[in-house]
Amino acid sequence: MSRVRIGYAEWLIWLLGFISVMLKLFRALVHIAISTFKVNDVRYRGHACKYEGWVDSKGF
């Protein structure tokens, strides 16, 4: 019985770790997609003075 509990606890810890890693990867991909979109979007180029300063200050 104790072996089953240890296995279950290890599986749960692994699952939580896996979910946290996936969330970090997802956030990184979303961040890259948003920054690329904002730099390349024609609407933002139309307001170059306003948004280029914002993009530079954010480090994109």
Q: Copy the structure tokens of residue 49.
A: 């003075």
Q: How confident is the model at residue 24 (pLDDT cuts 50, 70, 90)?
A: very high
* Of 60, 28, 31, the residue nearest 44 (C-alpha): 60
DSSP class of 59? T
- If one compares 31 and 40, the residue with the highest pLDDT of the two is 31
User: Given a cut of 80, is residue 49 above it in pLDDT?
Assistant: no
Q: What is the pTM of this model?
A: 0.46
Q: How confident is the model at residue 58 (pLDDT cuts 50, 70, 90)?
A: low
- If one compares 55 and 9, the residue with the highest pLDDT of the two is 9
